[in-house]
Amino acid sequence: MTEFIPAGTRFVDLPSPFPMKRGGALHGARMAYETWGALNAAGDNAVLILTGLSPDAHAAGHADNPDPGWWEAMLGPGKPIDTDRWFVVCVNSLGSCKGSTGPASIDSATGRVYRLGFPDLSVEDGADAALHVVRSLGIERLACVIGNSMGGMVALSLLQRFPGIAHGHINISGAARALPFSIAIRSLQREAIRLDPQWNNGDYSDDAYPEAGMRMARKLGVITYRSALEWDGRFGRVRLDSDRRLGDDPFGLEFEVENYLEGHARRFVRRFDPNCYLYLSRSMDWFDLGEACSTEHGHGTCEQGLSRLRLNRALAIGVHTDILFPLQQQQEIADGLLAGGVDASCLPLPSPQGHDAFLVDIARFGPAVREFLDSL
């Protein structure tokens, strides 16, 4: 059980106890975050970034950690999220293993690692924790909250639970609810981990670690993060040279695309805690923005949830090749916000790189993000 915390990470303590939506509470918990730029005298230039499942808070290099971050091309002086103008805060998700309290953290009540003793985690818990980071930095209202993938869900929850917290919102490849296909894929990822005997009901160690399950879960994820169009163009049906094939297994790796998935998975499995993966993955499946609009007469709808959000402007961005958070979900966000009186629009981009396009296709995403922020 290991946490992976980048150099230069900052921390803020959460209120203790910190109540969780589905019951239970955290004691002595903390949130990890990093910042860029400076908060102006009016306090109105703050931008909050909420991440997908696996990233840490190190979105870009800075004085305390010059190593490139996971969104290096998007964030910095003169870049689309221009830190000469904006005070940018990126938080690591509650439940992660990269600084914020999660299943791999020490439970202060017992002195032992939480493991499956961690309370059920919801997207709404992540929103509450992110708000505490914002308030601890003296920010009353955000100029913009940017949410990517799972972070798009957290951002919508933040806007719902704390009306007026932000002037603007950019939702990138996000969703107001989990769709059946995404739930199905994530359920298979979790099953792969749990069926690995080394998982041992969450009680594993570095020496007895569910590596096979994590490898399979990551491969399933990577397949959905990119698109068939990219796989075709990038790998085709190219086979590995004989000297690059592993062992004598007649069903071993044969194609370049298989080798890519294997390499990607092996780089990931020891850099993310399996229990944290399970908790964060399930939190996305549970999320439905319409739930908060439910009454005794029935379940609320996403349209109702979105139409009640209070902000001024919003932009939802997606790509045609995203199968995990399909473009229809970004259109749903824009339409729902528009119905509630928000100046909202949806921007479909023609990237071939699927769900992960926002991480790599900066040539398309960068101008859209810059233009929206410049208009605030």
Residue appearing with tokens 């059920």: 120
Closest CA to 131 of 176, 162, 87: 162
Per-residue tokens: 12: 């803020």
Who contacts 264 (Cβ-Cβ below 8 Å, separation ≥6)?
Answer: 218, 219, 222
Who contacts 8 (Cβ-Cβ below 8 Å, separation ≥6)?
Answer: 34, 58, 62, 64, 65
Secondary structure of residue 333 in the 3-state scheme: helix
Which residues on neighbouring strands pair with residue 298, listed in sequence order? 295
Which residues on neighbouring strands pair with residue 31, listed in sequence order? 12
The catalytic residue positions are 149, 322, 355
Closest CA to 376 of 143, 172, 163: 143
CA distance between the termini of the chain: 43
Q: How many helices (H) and strands (E) does the chain have?
A: 11, 14
Angle between helices 274-286 and 211-225 (to 10 degrees): 40
DSSP 8-state code for residue 238? P
Residue burial 58-67, b: 16+ Cβ < 10 Å; e: rest = bbbbbeeeee
Angle between helices 274-286 and 150-161 (to 10 degrees): 60
What would the DSSP string read from start to end of 174-211?
--SB--HHHHHHHHHHHHHHHTSGGGGGG---SSS--H
Per-residue tokens: 362: 């900066």
